[in-house]
Structure 1
């Protein structure tokens, strides 16, 4: 992909492509049955999305993600936030 494409995404979202690719990679290889990993990903997504994640919301999202397991993807997490 072209560098201008990445720049356009960075300008629109305020998130560097490096951060997005790192997050996507973490999600791709995550074990969604491991609560610690799920909590870490929830916090990362909140940070990248620039949305505060309270302890209560983190607990709810983690419980929901653990129930869904491996069928979860980045879009699902984003919708939850």
Structure 2
């Protein structure tokens, strides 16, 4: 992809492409049956989105993701957020 495409995304979201690629990589290789790993990803997504994630919301998202386990897709995560 072209650099201007990435710059446009960075300008619109305020999130660097490096951070997005790091998150995408973490999600790609994540074990969605590991609660500790799921919680880490939930917190990271909240931080990147600049959205506060309360303990209750973190619990709800984590439990929902853990129920789906390895069948979870990026699309599923987007729907949860």
Question: Do residues 80 (structure 1) and 75 (structure 2) align?
Answer: no
1:60 match: secondary structure: helix
Over the aligned positions, Cα root-mean-square deviation in angstroms equals 1.0
- What is the TM-score when the length of structure 1 is the normalising length? 0.93
Across the two proteins, how many residue pairs are aligned to each other? 81
Distance 2:60 2:20 in 1: 24
Consecutive unaligned residues of structure 1, counting only runs of 5 or more, are none
Distance 2:4 2:37 in 1: 33
Distance 1:68 1:8 in 2: 33
- Following TM superposition, by how much is the alpha carbon of 1:17 offset from its aligned partner in structure 2, in angstroms? 0.3
Distance 1:77 1:51 in 2: 15
Please say if residues 38 and 62 of structure 1, whose CA atoms lie closer than 8 Å, have aligned partners that are also in contact.
yes
Consecutive unaligned residues of structure 2, counting only runs of 5 or more, are none
- What is the TM-score when the length of structure 2 is the normalising length? 0.93
